[in-house]
Structure 1
Amino acid sequence: SVQLSETGPYVIQSIIGLGDVDADIQMQAAPYQQGRTYIDSKLIPRFINIEVLIKGTDDEDISTKREHLGKVCNPVSGQLRIQYEYGGRIKETYGAADHVPRYLSGEGRSRTHQIAVIDLTCPNPFWRTLQQTQEPTFEPRFRFPISGPFIFGIQRDRRQMINDGDSPAPIFVEFHGPALNPMIINNTTGEFIKINQELLEGEIMEIDTEAGTVFFVEPDGTRRNVFNWIDDAATFFELVIGENDIEYTADSDIQGAIVNITYSKLYNAI
């Protein structure tokens, strides 16, 4: 990893792309229609351009720092995890380097400094919160000075979840057994995710609506893909902007059952 800051040794000279994302405005036209009919707008990938001043003590030090930057921003190494901190807030995204860092010549370099240019392409244009928001089944209310396999609190089979980000947010769901055909419903949109399977004590079902994956986790931790267990009418829904009325149910008594929901809020600029 490498840290770009205002002090060094890798100093940010300029950065473009923290909020600059174009939208693809989708339209259609009927025969003889004047103009177009608006359908939707979708953000295109995010492009980030960074100019960095590398500070060093001599030729050897500059060369070492250049080599390290090139190793981090290596296009063939896949996507980079990009974190940006400002005003005490941290957001992150993922992007791939368009090229090996471009090192400028002439006034862009000397024995004690080097100017480097980094261009990144982020397929997902949104920044997301570093800390994920968790919505556990049990809302803690009180504690007792005892130990043992006890859980105290209010079981929230229905809860209100507020997404105050700039885009619908994918969710990660964990169904814990015992439960028969567990289902989670977003009453705000009418969408639901249902698993046509019985979960026994100690068994877990993991659903990622961003990746569109479904995994069954056995008590010993073994994971296997069980996408075929998803109900045909189910939707890998996301939390819409604003209030979401989320409900958990099953074809069996859910008293004592657990479902956990985790998500990151998405932002189009920071």
Structure 2
Amino acid sequence: MKPDNVFIKNLRSGESFAVYPIIQTTGVLLQNFDPGAIPASFTAVKGVGQDGQTLQDVAMDPRFITIEAAIIGNQNNTIDDIKKQIDHIINPKDEILIRTLKNGEYREIDGYPDGTVQYSTDYKTSNDVLLSFKIEFQCFDPYFRDKNGDSIKIETWIPKFKLFTFKAGGIKMGVQGPKQIEIINDGDIDTPIEFLFYGPALNPKIILNGDKFIKINKQIVTGDLLYIYSDYENIKVEIQNGGVVTESGYGYIDIDSDFFLLEQGKNIISYSTEGDNIPQTVFIKYKNRYFVI
């Protein structure tokens, strides 16, 4: 089944165009969208005299996506004008965002054009009113992901106010909130996580299921943000202020840290800090990843 639409954007220039499966007066008509399959590579060893082999690892290879469409022109928008725009956007040296909409759900994937746009030379599909073309993409990260993802706030303080009394405790402006949260990963594969600690915090630590953890041996002062991204291929640890990176956090990573992913199914994520430092806010962000749209 074709998507309801496909949005294509050059991530360098920001230019984009969309294709639809319904004929329009002018624009680009989607004829076929092939999301491809993800090939798997197996690493196995064979012992002396062993029947068969012993599987050691399974790695997923890049995905190839093919989009077939047709430019439909009229007096206001000629085929040449639209073709020029598409050629400018589909640059094999640039990373391209491919976003699909199907049954009300958006999915995204990034890829590189596997060459320039292939245009038809058959007069039936290459004439004054119609020009068919094909674009092939190689997606090195082969998973589709949610468009917006989820952003979850762990409450570090729960608002509470009591009038002053002579009883023990006096005025209470707030109480400490829960330090853990349950997250369900409904995707087909484990997925990277973003953590945002708004200071103050001393040696903050994120724990997954009471076992794996990421710890940063650093004092985060009020006004600063500790940003952690757990992707194996693109790990980030940054100290930010006002949206600007002020310091790299790599040198503060605890030696026993494990930059874990959000596992499929139920996950319990908790955090801790040392001393009396309690972060203003802790956010967790992630995007589920899927085999298909």
**Is the 8 Å Cα contact of residues 47 and 120 (structure 1) preserved in structure 2?**
yes
Q: Secondary structure at the match of 1:66?
A: helix
Where does residue 138 of structure 2 map in the other structure? 121
In structure 1, distance between residues paired with 2:31 and 2:91: 21
**Alignment CA distance shift 1:153-1:161 (3 Å):** farther
In structure 2, distance between residues paired with 1:69 and 1:104: 15
Question: So what's the TM-score if we normalise by structure 1?
Answer: 0.88
Identity of aligned residues (%): 26
**Alignment CA distance shift 1:212-1:161 (3 Å):** same
1:223 alignment partner, one of 235, 240, 246? 246
Where does residue 116 of structure 2 map in the other structure? 100
**Is the 8 Å Cα contact of residues 59 and 112 (structure 1) preserved in structure 2?**
no
Where does residue 4 of structure 1 map in the other structure? 19
In structure 2, distance between residues paired with 1:157 and 1:209: 20
| Alpha-carbon distance, 1:39 to partner | 2.4
In structure 2, distance between residues paired with 1:159 and 1:118: 43
**Is the 8 Å Cα contact of residues 156 and 179 (structure 2) preserved in structure 1?**
no
Where does residue 34 of structure 2 map in the other structure? 16
One-letter identity of the residue aligned with 1:108: T
Matches within 5 A, 1:35-184: 35-57=52-74, 61-76=78-93, 78-106=94-122, 107-138=124-155, 155-184=177-206
**Is the 8 Å Cα contact of residues 59 and 111 (structure 1) preserved in structure 2?**
no
| Alpha-carbon distance, 1:170 to partner | 0.5
Where does residue 222 of structure 2 map in the other structure? 201
In structure 1, distance between residues paired with 2:55 and 2:292: 24
Question: So what's the TM-score if we normalise by structure 2?
Answer: 0.82
1:242 alignment partner, one of 265, 268, 276? 265
Deviation sequence 1:220-268 (CA, Å, 0-9, x none): 8453322111111111111111111111111123545432111111111
- Show structure 1 runs of 5+ residues with no match: 145-150
| Alpha-carbon distance, 1:137 to partner | 1.8
RMSD of aligned alpha carbons: 2.5
Count of residues in correspondence between the two structures: 261
In structure 2, distance between residues paired with 1:51 and 1:32: 51
Q: Secondary structure at the match of 1:228?
A: helix
1:232 aligns with 2:252: no
